[in-house]
């Protein structure tokens, strides 16, 4: 049998999906970018100006500035999940998935394209939120390399998580369930808007079981050099979650991807 | 190697436990137009979906150009273009974007000149910047065809291409199919209409309840199946068929107003002239007469009966 001379990595295919997903965001640029900018501004009006003025500094950082990393993380979590889960769920819902399944593209390439696009979008969003925040409060970044690393890792991890949700969801309710009922509460309780050192010791212990605490903590350390749990612990936790998502994706593929009959 | 697709004892049992394909073996020859004929639920779409990679087979194997559809899926899928039965398009994409997307997805470098050629052939060029949701159903079907052709496939699957399509699009489509065949593309289409299969196909396969009942050159199948039915609309109703007509296999319908005679067009003596002569001798008058090809249903019935 002759060898097939067509390549073993479908770069054109990955690029096509990536561009398709990015184009989808550009069509709804208002919804994708303007909304979070307005929401962030509102946070600063409410927390930063109204409440923040009555709050003391947290670990030597003004309250308004303190909440910036948490806000960025909250947006990163929800938008990564939303973009990636919707990206793969929608073709399943409309039936256009037939084309993806009949294309000479591997599962890995499909994930790369969808997760790559979703992560790109949420990173752009994260940067925009930081820029918006810097208009209201003095944002400093003490460890830029670590900040970028956490930004990338978190965006990729949660996009992967979103992709998994999109693959497994049978309807729009399920698609919304985890982001709304799990991620957002955990983020609010995970020290996005306060230092967990501010909590009574019992609640502090309880909070340490919330994985989001570790994700936010390292990111905040990159900004202000202060940390509740330590940056190494934070990094390990983030990588651990990434690994968990990779395992689930690999397992989903191994058992038929849940897209084919 | 004459056959481009080789299907060997293919079976599919869906998660529901329903067995949609049973031990189907079939070879598609390079460059032919093959029509897969069968009633609703026969398993046509299931068969196509397995070859294209949309549905996983439960048993058996398929090779395309010598490559296994599982192990060498990149090689097999890049050779295949599929126009599915259902019209599913992204509402907000433009025609140009969605067709270019398909080309990229199938691993081909951009080629605007080729995309333009495809869009012009399908009379979609004027609509290239229209969003898909603004197109009519017939135009959407053209877009689906353009998407399937975007990566220059060697094999084209058309799953009921003429469902919900008007006469002019149907004609365009068949012209396109003939052109593609002339350029060496192998075409597999499904249809419910025997006339369509007869017009277009080099060979016809008949599938029923997941089983491939017959595969035959079109001319031979038509000869085999060339039964016609003559209906005579009587002036006066009959209560029973007169004994003088019992040499012909007749049936009486519509409260005695219609006399039906089924005959084989390939017989040297169809029996039609003698029947009419005998009737006029007997003074049985009729207002009108009508002949028709046996319907697909009747063919299935006779094939299934022959098979068992
Ligand atoms: N995902 C599925 N789960 C369970 N049963 C299925 C599934 N898809 C198809 N079937 C069943 O398999 C049988 C064959 O379906 P298929 O779509 O292949 O038929 P078809 O010949 O294409 O019919 P039609 O002419 O109506 O398009 C049908 O009885 C159908 O109900
Ligand atoms: Mg079908």
* Residues B35-86 pLDDT 10s: 998 888 999 999 999 999 999 999 999 999 999 999 999 999 999 999 999 8
Confidence tier at A1 by pLDDT (50, 70, 90): very low
Domain ranges of chain A: 11-255
- The answer to whether the CB atoms of B107 and A10 lie below 8 A apart is yes
B3-13: strand order across its sheet: B19-29, B3-13, B59-64, B67-68
Looking at the DSSP bridge assignments, the partners of residue B261 are B230, B250
- E strands in chain B: 3-13, 19-29, 33-37, 59-64, 67-68, 80-83, 155-159, 186-191, 203-208, 211-217, 227-234, 250-253, 258-264, 286-293
Confidence tier at A2 by pLDDT (50, 70, 90): very low
B26 neighbors B215 (Cβ within 8 angstroms): yes
Pick from A22-36, A119-133, A155-169, B185-199: least confident:
A22-36
What pLDDT is recorded for position B97?
Answer: 95
Which residues fall within 8 angstroms of residue B74, CB to CB, at 6 or more apart?
Answer: A4, A6, A8, A10, A104, A106, B107
Q: Tell how strand B33-37 and strand B203-208 pair up.
A: parallel
Query: How far apart, in Å, are the Cα atoms of A165 and each of A53, A96, A186, A258?
Result: 40, 19, 17, 12
* Residues A211-253 pLDDT 10s: 888 888 889 899 888 877 788 888 998 899 899 999 998 888 8
Q: Which of B38, B44, B56, B160 to mutate to test the pocket of ligand 1 (most atoms within 8 A of CB)?
A: B44
Atom of ligand 1 nearest to the CA of B47: 18
Q: In chain A, pLDDT over 70 holds for what percent of residues?
A: 93
pTM of the model: 0.85
Work out the burial of residue B174: count CB atoms within 10 Å of its CB; fewer than 13 is exposed, 13-18 middle, 19 or more buried: middle
Residue A3 reports pLDDT greater than 50 = no
Confidence tier at A183 by pLDDT (50, 70, 90): confident
Nearest-CB residue to B105 (from A6, A103, A260): A103
Residue A7 reports pLDDT greater than 60 = no
Mean pLDDT of A175-203: 79
Residue located nearest, by CA, to atom 5 of ligand 1: B14
Find where tokens 């079976």 sit.
B11
The two three-digit tokens of residue B276, written as one number: 């009419």
Confidence tier at A172 by pLDDT (50, 70, 90): confident
B250-253: strand order across its sheet: B250-253, B258-264, B227-234, B286-293
Residue A5 reports pLDDT greater than 70 = no
CA gap B51, A245 in Å, rounded:
31
B84 neighbors A101 (Cβ within 8 angstroms): no
Q: Write out the H or E segment, with its range, that includes residue A132.
A: helix A107-136
Nearest-CB residue to B89 (from A13, A16, A96): A96
What pLDDT is recorded for position B306?
Answer: 63
* Residues B218-270 pLDDT 10s: 888 777 666 778 889 998 888 888 888 888 888 888 888 998 888 877 677 77
CA gap B71, A4 in Å, rounded:
12
User: Which residues of B fall within a CB distance of 8 Å from A7?
Assistant: 107
What pLDDT is recorded for position B294?
Answer: 65
Residue B34 reports pLDDT greater than 80 = yes
Ligand 1 shell residues, CB under 6 Å? A 261; B 14, 16, 18, 20, 38, 40-46, 85
* Residues B183-228 pLDDT 10s: 999 999 998 877 788 888 999 999 989 999 889 898 887 776 667 7
Pick from A83-97, B223-237, B290-304: least confident:
B290-304
């Amino acid at each position: 049998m002759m060898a097939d001379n067509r390549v073993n990595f479908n770069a054109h295919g990955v690029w096509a999906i990536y561009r398709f997903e990015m184009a989808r965001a550009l069509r709804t640029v208002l919804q994708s970018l303007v909304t979070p900018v307005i929401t962030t501004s509102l946070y600063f009006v409410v927390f930063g100006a109204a409440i923040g003025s009555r709050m003391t500094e947290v670990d030597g950082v003004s309250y308004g500035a303190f909440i910036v990393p948490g806000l960025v993380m909250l947006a990163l979590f929800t938008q990564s999940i939303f973009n990636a889960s919707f990206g793969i769920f929608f073709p399943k819902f409309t039936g256009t998935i037939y084309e993806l399944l009949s294309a000479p593209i591997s599962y890995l390439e499909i994930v790369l394209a969808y997760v790559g696009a979703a992560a790109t979008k949420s990173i752009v969003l994260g940067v925009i939120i930081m820029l918006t925040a810097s208009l209201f409060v003095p944002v400093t970044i003490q460890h830029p390399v670590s900040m970028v690393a956490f930004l990338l890792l978190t965006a990729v991890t949660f996009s992967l998580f979103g992709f998994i949700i999109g693959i497994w969801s049978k309807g729009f309710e399920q698609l919304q369930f985890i982001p709304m009922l799990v991620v957002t509460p955990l983020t609010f309780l995970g020290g996005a808007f306060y230092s967990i050192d501010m909590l009574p010791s019992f609640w502090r212990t309880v909070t340490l079981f919330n994985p989001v605490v570790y994700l936010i903590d390292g990111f905040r350390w990159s900004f202000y050099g202060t940390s509740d749990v330590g940056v190494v612990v934070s990094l390990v936790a983030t990588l651990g979650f990434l690994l968990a998502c990779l395992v689930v994706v690999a397992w989903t593929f191994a058992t038929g991807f849940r897209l084919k009959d | 190697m004459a056959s481009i697709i080789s299907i060997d004892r293919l079976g599919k049992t869906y998660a529901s436990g329903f067995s949609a394909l049973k031990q189907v073996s079939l070879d598609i020859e390079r460059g032919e137009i093959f029509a897969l004929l069968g009633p609703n639920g026969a398993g046509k779409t299931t068969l196509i979906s397995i070859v294209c990679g949309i549905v996983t087979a439960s048993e058996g194997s398929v090779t395309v150009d010598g490559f296994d559809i599982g192990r060498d899926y990149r090689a097999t899928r890049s050779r295949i273009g599929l126009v599915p039965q259902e019209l599913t398009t992204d509402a907000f994409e433009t025609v140009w974007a969605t067709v270019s997307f398909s080309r990229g997805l199938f691993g081909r470098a951009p080629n605007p000149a080729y995309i333009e050629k495809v869009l012009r052939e399908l009379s979609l060029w004027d609509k290239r910047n229209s969003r898909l949701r603004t197109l009519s159903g017939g135009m959407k079907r053209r877009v689906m065809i353009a998407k399937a052709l975007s990566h220059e496939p060697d094999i084209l699957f058309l799953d009921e291409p003429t469902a919900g399509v008007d006469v002019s699009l149907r004609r365009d489509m068949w012209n396109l199919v003939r052109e593609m065949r002339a350029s060496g593309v192998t075409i597999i289409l499904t249809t419910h209409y025997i006339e369509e299969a007869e017009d277009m196909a080099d060979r016809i396969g008949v599938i029923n309840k997941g089983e491939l009942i017959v595969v035959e050159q079109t001319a031979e199948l038509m000869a085999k199946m060339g039964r016609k039915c003559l209906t005579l609309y009587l002036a006066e109703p009959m209560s029973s068929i007169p004994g003088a007509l019992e040499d012909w296999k007749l049936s009486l319908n519509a409260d005695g107003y219609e006399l039906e005679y089924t005959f084989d067009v390939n017989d040297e003596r169809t029996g039609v002239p003698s029947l009419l002569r005998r009737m006029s001798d007997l003074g049985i008058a009729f207002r009108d007469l009508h002949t028709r090809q046996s319907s697909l249903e009747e063919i299935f019935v006779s094939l299934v009966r022959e098979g068992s």
